[in-house]
Amino acid sequence: MSHARKFALISTVVWGLIFIGLLSVVLIPGAEYFADPDRSLWRLLTAAIILPGFVLNGWLGWRSKRLKVDGQLDERDDAIARTASQATLIVVTLAVYLMALSLYEVYSSTGMVPRGWLYLLAYGTVSLVCLVHAAASLVVDLRGTANG
């Protein structure tokens, strides 16, 4: 298994767990209650859930740079990353667009969207970008469809 594939697999697992954690933390108490002033510690916990993913991304970026200098990552790995980035852009754009439209439609009668949904949209978008890019990298690598 190549280094790039290992990194994509690790990222997919970690960001998948983070995304599930975010959904759970916001949706179990209810998005309407998530933004209550009494739940500021809960929101801090939610932000802390994302931190290990950012640390992992930083470490993987540093490691990838070193492997590229050593010649263990090449232009095929760059092509895979580019193709995965294109897929990520499409998937995340559609997800955010559909979520925004859904929130508008569901709450159009009240004229206000509960702030908890906006927290989920913000945190979820960050984690979804990382998750989809890692998963797309795996799929592109396994299919061998990258142009490079």
CA–CA distances in Å: residue 54 to residues 11, 20, 97 = 10, 16, 24
| Residue 38 confidence (pLDDT) | 84
- Walking along the chain (148 residues) 10 residues at a time, the average pLDDT comes out as 85 95 87 81 86 92 80 80 94 96 94 88 94 94 73
Which pLDDT does position 43 carry in this prediction? 82
pLDDT value, residue 41: 83
The pLDDT value given to residue 64: 80
Structure tokens at 19: 């995304």
The whole-number pLDDT of residue 146 equals: 64
